[in-house]
Amino acid sequence: GAGVSQSPRYKVAKRGQDVALRCDPISGHVSLFWYQQALGQGPEFLTYFQNEAQLDKSGLPSDRFFAERPEGSVSTLKIQRTQQEDSAVYLCASSLYQDPSSYNEQFFGPGTRLTVL
Amino acid sequence: QKEVEQDPGPLSVPEGAIVSLNCTYSNSAFQYFMWYRQYSRKGPELLMYTYSSGNKEDGRFTAQVDKSSKYISLFIRDSQPSDSATYLCATESNDYKLSFGAGTTVTVRA
């Protein structure tokens, strides 16, 4: 079956431009996550949705970062006025549900590599 | 201080060798411990997870967790060139938020 897909795979932006990154989770997955992976580092949590509700946005680095999932499926991560330090791979993950009493595997997409010049 | 610290690489081993990867973590509340494999320009994929302390074996891979010392290990036996990748340890907090180590890049030489 289809996994998590992300688009675009690569994005080059000039400093100050706005960008929008899209995530299509696995069909039926309730939970959706965004992570940021800097070069040579592990992914860092950005935000978490359960259906359309954004339950945790504690990892968003600044108010220039905004995420939405209006219909509980596709999600968009938007970065306004991009800065060079925003250059990273942005990973989306989804899981079927979040049951605190059991393990819930997060399935990752291939990521969007953002380069800010 | 990061919640999960991972031994820096890179590691280069000959084919057939045992690969040993290690991490430490700081939060004793963590219950799930994962190892992900990430190939170049791909997303991480789950190799295996362990709940609480103990060992777990899956083919050539063995994961160990020692909660008393907050130590996580992954062993790869009879390593193959196809095992060449970056390996990330991770822990789960708040029932959903993954905390990753920085990753160790492994190269298995044919």
Which pLDDT band, with edges at 50, 70 and 90, does B62 fall under?
very high
Predicted pLDDT at A36 = 98
A76–chain B Cβ distance below 8 A for any pair: no
Burial class (CB in 10 A: 0-12, 13-18, 19+), A7: middle
What is the model's pLDDT at position B49? 93
- Interchain contact A25–B (C-beta under 8 A): no
- Residue among B45, B56, B96, B99 with most chain A CBs within 10 A, to mutate: B96
pLDDT given for residue A115 in this prediction = 98
Specify the DSSP element, H or E, that contains A11: strand A10-13
| Per-residue pLDDT reduced to its tens digit, A46-93 | 999 999 999 999 999 999 999 999 999 999 999 999 999 999 999 999
Q: Is A106 on the interface with B (CB under 8 A)?
A: yes
- Alpha-carbon distance B28 to nearest alpha carbon in chain A (angstroms): 17
Whether omega for the bond prior to residue A8 falls within 30 degrees of 0, making it cis, is yes
- Asked if B95 has any chain A CB less than 8 Å from its own CB, the reply is yes
Residue B45 to residues B42, B62, B86: CA-CA distances in angstroms? 9, 16, 11
Query: Range with the lowest mean pLDDT among A102-106, B9-13, B34-38, B92-96?
Result: B92-96
A5 reaches B (C-beta below 8 A): no
pLDDT tens figures, B82-92: 999 999 999 98
**CB contact set of A101 (below 8 Å; sequence gap of 6+):** none
Cα separation, B62 vs A52, whole angstroms: 38
Confidence of residue B28 (pLDDT cuts 50, 70, 90): confident
Contact A31 B96 (CB under 8 A): yes
Assess contact for B22 and B44: CB atoms under 8 A. no
A32 — contact with chain B (CB < 8 Å)? Answer: no
Q: CB of A36 within 8 A of CB of A43?
A: yes
Q: Parallel, antiparallel, or unpaired: how do β-strands A10-13 and A65-68 relate?
A: unpaired
Interface size, chain A vs chain B, as Cβ–Cβ contacts under 8 Å = 59
**More confident position, B97 or B59:** B59
